[in-house]
A and B are shown apart, each in its own frame.
Chain A
């Protein structure tokens, strides 16, 4: 098997290679047709003996055959720890890791010998197992591709890596051979890398901020910084930051390890603020609601917080799942499913599922609540009303106004239920401060106890404050209400019958679920994820739903709501050494300014402010507002961009209202230079100017974090399992496969970015290879978060096994001496111990402590968020609400979106065997489901005269033709087969989201003049993202939650019509 020798390793350009050699390594393998003997690989020369037992010695031999590497999957973001079996250098089987609590219930103790763990194959979902087919995808690219036709035309030339790096850095007439671009000068990255002096950047940033806040006039600023005004995007608006911000990094599926790697490069090296990932197309408003509600008071402001909590389903007696299916998606099935099935089968657990579609989880539920999309907030408030009216909330928990009171009540967390909120003329405003009430300082809050206002210091562990829940009146001359009173007023603003009418769930069911939710003490919870929040009202809805958990006081209790065990910290900032990555950065650049999509900035606190509505929305409370990046570039608001680097990103397919994302990518003026790095030519990378091959997840490094569904501490490490498929190149004099990391290192070398090359880590050593970075993170994990927290050192046998199990890896990937040098000889045996297990895992016995989870939130969680309440929507100029609410579906300027001529609401969902945009080449899965379909209620189809299996088109008011507009005159119809079921609301149609490809190997592409034919199996079915509703005011971006930033996936009204065919 010589698959790792033909890697253009001599630096020769791969010109002239044939299409088959170019596109996959398989061409080399096809002629070999080696018979790989799996039994021999597993057992060595162990003779098969049908009558014989498998002895301990044989088990040990199996373990030590040197063919097993523990790593981490990424077929979805759950990122399960895996045990990879390698046969003659080929990845042949992927199992779940038995060391991992995501894959075993109960997982093996961390010190279980490798030989004992070897024969236990833990569970893994079908996507994870199909990873072999993503790794060995016949359509993988090996060399850099440069556009040889118009954007999106899919005509490519393979070019040498060094040439691509040089062109991107320097710019020029890069596409003079393309019709219409003969004279187009493309600015290179060097043209945007203008501010590189961190001292200058610091002064500019500080004074730009002073201009925005009105402390400094623009004239004073210009005088003070006359020598540096040319570094800024706009000297009249210095708060937009330096020209460096014109370079934008847009990541799709990126995870820890690579996040930090790329942020060091873009933010701290290049000096651009515009680093984005994709969370707003997933479940961002859910994260933002948790984060805002769990922000802690630091004495002068609110900060910190947790973005995600989960039910302790292992001990729960009741869980209400809202718009999420842990058997199919969420975060994620391998860890979530068995706790639920076991609980249901043994009678311990009862679940209810609110979802317009009968998901697989709902099919096992005690009660399915087919809620109308976008009305989960109404359901939440109906439940809230019943719980408060019937006095079924946990009063002692809610009355505790600070830490001391919580302790006295046997709790470790507490709420703001009894805190007073000032009621301004235009509604609830900030919390009342103790100085205004005459009972304390401006840094304290106020509750009413026995009719008297008392100061509240939330973190006070000595003096308990227990407050009245239902107070309203005047304190210190100000009109006030408690947070709990505001919640009551919100939920009692409508009758139960009215809430029922809105959400489509009968009153009796709301009552029954509310009763069940409050019948199990602390051992019940409400879980929400993507479904209820990917709406324009997502944040407010999430706040109302999370509030249900607070009403039953389940935070930190076994069977209740938990923060999860979390992880050790790979950036090395928790203990002295080994590697504090933030500090090991000589010459570290400083980035500042308003981000391209205005996330994290307030419109009314910027120099761009010009009344309402703003030209485009600003998003002060969220981040990673993915859908707004390319449309902002196209609009040039708040500034023009120079280059966009898409890493594993496919905005052209995965974002609602996708056609405008495609149009922006195809627009040379909007994005003068478009780079991509991915393993296959995908639906978005096909519009790029350059595509760099990436390493797949089975060939590379990362340190993914753990879902909070896990009660114990976990730090996973992804590491190379097999030889790389991309070609080998030389960067900083080092040979390595092309990857995101190699690309960033090479551009750092070409541009002279700080913190790279020899001495790149300062005293911490050289940074010339990807693993120079990643191994230091691994060493930090091995060292733990405090002295004495280290993993054991590998013994001699384990050291030997480590090297032997990597004997199939080429020196460009694995060099034991080089790896050891990266972390130092003292840490090396600890690193090896960790790598031999693919991470580190707390034992199961660390999960629980008495009647509480061991790893606790143990701080505040709040019904009312004053910072949100005090902020104004950049488009309407109205204040946001501080309390959980049900809001109608609204566009960016606050208008309802009736679309009355479109009778149905469309939703998407995910089958467990499909991963959004990246599994069309997983052929094993296509045997299970060759295509998806449009799911419709049988009765609805009857009324509309539609038949099962009929071909139908899905269209909406913003895409009345039901088409993908792919540019260059190409379109694709949003057309699929109709599937009729009983398990869906009659007014809803559902289409799973992982089919409908027009790239990723589905259609022909041309490389070096040869046509690489597409595979029709990869293009089946339909994807409805292009049909999802454009914001009527903006037109070029989907409906969006103005607070949480979530893109709307479930608010689009559609028509489903039979096609002529």
Chain B
């Protein structure tokens, strides 16, 4: 009776946190080694700080030279759902709309069992399948790689359905116009906060867009442009989430992509997703997604 989930991990696997930190910040290394912590060195910083520096470098470049992407280390996802709630709060999402999901799967038989958490959001594909299902110009690629939805063109129920079904990653939701406090004695003020998506201050509280539209993750582009990381990244309790500029070889995400055996989910579909998943055994994961 034992459950060994360490299979598939190479004994020489390096600390990617230390790696990322060292790469991004030179001498400013995130301490992950026992010795460094024990010695109480003063040069350590949280991975968030390192990624903020990555972000600053990217924002100093023209938008077309940025190449936003994510690395999700599923080994460190604890299934806490903090990212889902952070996303809802950040984007004032109504009921039924989820930009971010962490489905769970149980594998094995008692007592050799494992629970697998599979965090995902819009993969911001370079060849987005949703694009072809929408009217011309409704779904576009921004120069920095983000797939942008033009809500005004994405309200026709048939279009919403087509776009939703076209996404192989189930990343698109339909905003049906509801509010969390529907059916309670009093609507509440947090629901009237605007959601500044794609540079527009939407007036959804009055029933306007994006109510009725197809919606999905945009890497918190409003946060990026004010120098802040996406909400799912900052709040991740297990530090499974990494974000940055793949066009910067010294960024955390580039280093992780170069050094770790990552998985592009359902890569064979040709969507060219911009999210890399790390796993103990990518081949096993891949098998489920083919």
* Interface-side segment among B35-43, B119-127, B131-139, B267-275: B35-43
Cβ-neighbour of B81 out of A23, A92, A126, A315 (below 8 A): A126
Nearest-Cβ distance from residue B67 to partner chain A, whole angstroms? 15
Cβ-neighbour of A848 out of B13, B38, B180 (below 8 A): B38
A257 at the interface (CB under 8 A from B): no
B290 at the interface (CB under 8 A from A): no
Cβ-neighbour of A924 out of B4, B180, B203 (below 8 A): B180
Cβ-neighbour of B15 out of A46, A346, A986, A1013 (below 8 A): A346
Residue total for A at the interface (Cβ-Cβ under 8 A):
129
Contact A133 B5 (CB under 8 A): no
B46 at the interface (CB under 8 A from A): yes
Contact A37 B201 (CB under 8 A): yes
The complex places the Cα of A61 from the Cα of B147 at a distance, in Å, of 30
Chain A neighbourhood of B222, CB < 8 A: 39
Contact B76 A341 (CB under 8 A): yes
Cβ-neighbour of B37 out of A30, A39, A314, A345 (below 8 A): A314
Contact A558 B199 (CB under 8 A): no
Chain A neighbourhood of B73, CB < 8 A: 345
Cβ-neighbour of B239 out of A328, A338, A1001 (below 8 A): A338
A645 at the interface (CB under 8 A from B): no
A497 at the interface (CB under 8 A from B): no
> Given A38-B193, A125-B237, A342-B17: A23 and B186 within 8 A (CB)?
yes
The complex places the Cα of A130 from the Cα of B86 at a distance, in Å, of 9
A-B contact pairs, 27 of them (CB 8 A): A34-B189, A35-B194, A36-B194, A38-B193, A53-B59, A59-B227, A91-B190, A96-B235, A104-B48, A121-B229, A121-B235, A126-B82, A130-B85, A327-B78, A337-B78, A337-B237, A338-B76, A346-B13, A347-B9, A358-B113, A360-B79, A509-B1, A843-B42, A845-B40, A913-B85, A927-B88, A927-B96
Interface string of B168-193 (1 = CB under 8 A from A): 00000000000011011111111011
B156 at the interface (CB under 8 A from A): no
The complex places the Cα of A881 from the Cα of B6 at a distance, in Å, of 41
A981 at the interface (CB under 8 A from B): yes
The complex places the Cα of A105 from the Cα of B78 at a distance, in Å, of 17
A608 at the interface (CB under 8 A from B): no
Chain A neighbourhood of B16, CB < 8 A: 345-346
A582 at the interface (CB under 8 A from B): no
Interface string of A13-24 (1 = CB under 8 A from B): 000000110011
B84 at the interface (CB under 8 A from A): yes
Cβ-closest chain B residue relative to A94:
B89
Chain B neighbourhood of A315, CB < 8 A: 34, 37-38
Nearest-Cβ distance from residue A320 to partner chain B, whole angstroms? 14
B282 at the interface (CB under 8 A from A): no
B26 at the interface (CB under 8 A from A): no
Cβ-neighbour of B88 out of A23, A53, A137, A924 (below 8 A): A924
Nearest-Cβ distance from residue B30 to partner chain A, whole angstroms? 8
Chain B neighbourhood of A923, CB < 8 A: 95, 180-181
Cβ-closest chain B residue relative to A48:
B199
Contact A1015 B183 (CB under 8 A): yes
Given pairs A39-B201, A105-B46, 14 additional interface contacts (CB within 8 A): A24-B186, A26-B184, A30-B187, A33-B205, A95-B234, A98-B48, A123-B239, A327-B80, A365-B5, A366-B6, A368-B2, A505-B1, A559-B34, A848-B38
* Interface-side segment among B102-110, B159-167, B210-218, B242-250: B102-110
Interface string of B212-233 (1 = CB under 8 A from A): 0000000000100111110100
A106 at the interface (CB under 8 A from B): yes
Nearest-Cβ distance from residue B9 to partner chain A, whole angstroms? 7
> Given A39-B196, A345-B76: A333 and B2 within 8 A (CB)?
no
Chain A neighbourhood of B84, CB < 8 A: 126, 927-928
A543 at the interface (CB under 8 A from B): no
If over half of B's interface residues share one DSSP class (helix, strand or loop), that class is named, otherwise mixed; here it is loop
Chain B neighbourhood of A24, CB < 8 A: 185-186, 188
> Given A35-B203, A341-B240, A342-B17: A924 and B85 within 8 A (CB)?
yes
Chain A neighbourhood of B90, CB < 8 A: 93
Contact A983 B15 (CB under 8 A): no
Contact A120 B48 (CB under 8 A): yes
- Indicate the member of A39, A87, A506, A1015 with the most B CB atoms within 10 Å: A39
Chain A neighbourhood of B229, CB < 8 A: 121
A129 at the interface (CB under 8 A from B): yes
Q: Tell me the B46-95 residues at the A interface (CB within 8 Å).
A: 46, 48-49, 52, 56, 59-60, 62-63, 73, 75-76, 78-82, 84-86, 88-90, 95
Contact A30 B186 (CB under 8 A): yes
Nearest-Cβ distance from residue B239 to partner chain A, whole angstroms? 5
> Given A93-B89, A347-B9: A123 and B188 within 8 A (CB)?
no
Contact A368 B3 (CB under 8 A): yes
- List the 6 closest pairs (A to B, CB-CB), nearest first: A26-B186, A54-B227, A138-B184, A363-B115, A341-B76, A24-B186
Interface string of A136-155 (1 = CB under 8 A from B): 11110000000000000000
Chain A residues within CB distance 8 Å of chain B: 1, 3, 19-20, 23-27, 29-30, 32-40, 42-43, 46, 48-54, 58-59, 62, 87, 90-96, 98, 104-108, 119-126, 129-130, 132-133, 136-139, 314-315, 317, 327-328, 333-334, 337-338, 341-342, 344-348, 350, 358, 360-368, 370, 505-506, 509, 512, 523, 558-559, 843-851, 854, 912-913, 923-925, 927-928, 937-939, 981-986, 1001, 1012-1013, 1015, 1017
Cβ-closest chain A residue relative to B144:
A50
Cβ-closest chain A residue relative to B52:
A120
The complex places the Cα of A136 from the Cα of B187 at a distance, in Å, of 9
Cβ-closest chain B residue relative to A105:
B46
Chain A neighbourhood of B227, CB < 8 A: 53-54, 58-59, 62, 119
The complex places the Cα of A362 from the Cα of B1 at a distance, in Å, of 14
Size category of the B interface is 35 or more
Contact A48 B225 (CB under 8 A): yes
Contact B15 A845 (CB under 8 A): no
Contact A348 B85 (CB under 8 A): no
Chain A neighbourhood of B116, CB < 8 A: 363
The complex places the Cα of A370 from the Cα of B112 at a distance, in Å, of 11
Contact A333 B78 (CB under 8 A): yes
The complex places the Cα of A105 from the Cα of B17 at a distance, in Å, of 12
Contact B184 A506 (CB under 8 A): no
Chain B neighbourhood of A1017, CB < 8 A: 183
Chain A neighbourhood of B186, CB < 8 A: 20, 23-27, 29-30, 138
Contact A37 B231 (CB under 8 A): no
Chain A neighbourhood of B238, CB < 8 A: 327, 337-338, 341
Cβ-closest chain B residue relative to A844:
B44
Chain B neighbourhood of A93, CB < 8 A: 89-90
> Given A90-B190, A346-B17: A129 and B85 within 8 A (CB)?
yes
B206 at the interface (CB under 8 A from A): yes
Nearest-Cβ distance from residue A2 to partner chain B, whole angstroms? 11
Nearest-Cβ distance from residue B85 to partner chain A, whole angstroms? 4
Nearest-Cβ distance from residue B280 to partner chain A, whole angstroms? 9
The complex places the Cα of A136 from the Cα of B181 at a distance, in Å, of 10
Chain A neighbourhood of B62, CB < 8 A: 51
The complex places the Cα of A559 from the Cα of B201 at a distance, in Å, of 50
- Indicate the member of A36, A334, A350, A843 with the most B CB atoms within 10 Å: A36
Contact A912 B193 (CB under 8 A): no
Contact A845 B4 (CB under 8 A): no
B98 at the interface (CB under 8 A from A): yes
- Indicate the member of B40, B49, B194 with the most A CB atoms within 10 Å: B40
Chain A neighbourhood of B79, CB < 8 A: 327, 360, 363
B158 at the interface (CB under 8 A from A): no
Contact A29 B185 (CB under 8 A): no
Cβ-neighbour of A37 out of B9, B187, B194 (below 8 A): B194
Contact B4 A342 (CB under 8 A): no
Nearest-Cβ distance from residue B56 to partner chain A, whole angstroms? 7
Cβ-neighbour of B46 out of A38, A107, A843 (below 8 A): A107
Cβ-neighbour of A50 out of B108, B194, B225 (below 8 A): B225
Cβ-closest chain A residue relative to B76:
A341
- Indicate the member of B85, B185, B193, B235 with the most A CB atoms within 10 Å: B185
